[in-house]
Amino acid sequence: MMKIAIDAGHGPNTAGKRCPDDSMREFAFNAAVAYYVREDLVKYSGVSVLFTHAADGSRDVPLSERVRAANGWSADIFVSIHANAAGNGWSDASGIETFASVNASAASVKLAEAVQRRLIEETGRRDRGVKRSDFYVIKNTAMPAILVEAGFMTNRTEAELLKSDGYRRKVATAIVGAIVRLYGLKPKEEPKVIEEPEKAGRLEATVKVNGTALAEKGYVEKGVTYVPVRAVAEALGAKVKWDGAAKTVEITR
Ligand SMILES: [Zn+2]
């Protein structure tokens, strides 16, 4: 059983937490990503998710209450989702950064690094790296805890991304992908031979890397074996980059 606390920062009416032209409140982004993260995570076996924010946006839950909820529930990890700001007007600062607290455990740092790496791969935004700061919710939670700043509301380009459903889903996919990989979560459904007519003849296959079976399955079709390239390459210590425009998978080591 893995208990995952997801925290969408602020509330809809929190002062200042919005785009300079008030076209988006930070909470709208944070809460949408939190929703998609939960939607994806519950597809994995033995996972339960707790929201420490008010998902209906009825209030900005105080930080101490968020921490008490996560600690009281004995969450295994805590992920706080935010959008960044640099000053009050539009500015050039851009990119994604993930925080662990100043005295964070090794497990927190590992989680921060995994999520940050996956966020950059998934979105292609500028990598501001993993940073240390004693934000209240990550300093006072008792489990590995990180705070993600997934782009700048004060940057015109990133504000448009933060408002878009596609970007919100990418951010959620990255967070979930990093957690699944790091903690070895397994999908709920038992793997079985795919029976849809259009996929007939496809045989699902377990893929092992150095003796360990991957959560992701491969398959064999017409004598060719297909394996999940990201899972395999990352298990071997390589990096995988998907260039959607060029439809190219690039593997580097
Ligand atoms: Zn925030």
Q: What is the pLDDT along the chain (253 residues), one digit of tens a residue?
A: 999 999 999 999 999 999 999 999 999 999 999 999 999 999 999 999 999 999 999 999 999 999 999 999 999 999 999 999 999 899 999 999 999 999 999 999 999 999 999 999 999 999 999 999 999 999 999 999 999 999 999 999 999 999 999 999 999 999 999 999 999 999 997 656 666 666 667 888 899 998 889 888 888 887 788 888 888 888 888 988 888 888 888 899 8
Cα–ligand 1 centroid distance for 54 (angstroms): 15
For residue 150, the CA-to-ligand 1 centroid distance in Å is 10
pTM of the complete model = 0.76
Q: Which CATH number fits domain 2-183: 1.10.10.10, 3.40.630.40, 3.40.718.10, 3.40.50.920?
A: 3.40.630.40
Q: Is 83 within 8 Å of 153 (Cβ atoms)? A: yes
What separation in Å is there between the alpha carbon of 225 and the centre of ligand 1? 45
CA 176 to chain centre: 4
Domain-by-domain residue ranges, the chain? 2-183, 197-252
Helix (H, G, I), strand (E, B), or coil: what is residue 213?
Answer: strand
What is the CA(17)–ligand 1 centre distance, in A? 7
**Å from CA of 241 to ligand 1 middle:** 28
Q: How far is the CA of 182 from the centre of ligand 1 (A)?
A: 25
Q: Write the DSSP assignment of 45-105 as a string of letters.
A: TTEEEEE-S-TT-S----HHHHHHHHHHTT-SEEEEEEEE-SSSS------EEEEE-TT--
CA of 82 to the centre of ligand 1 (A): 4
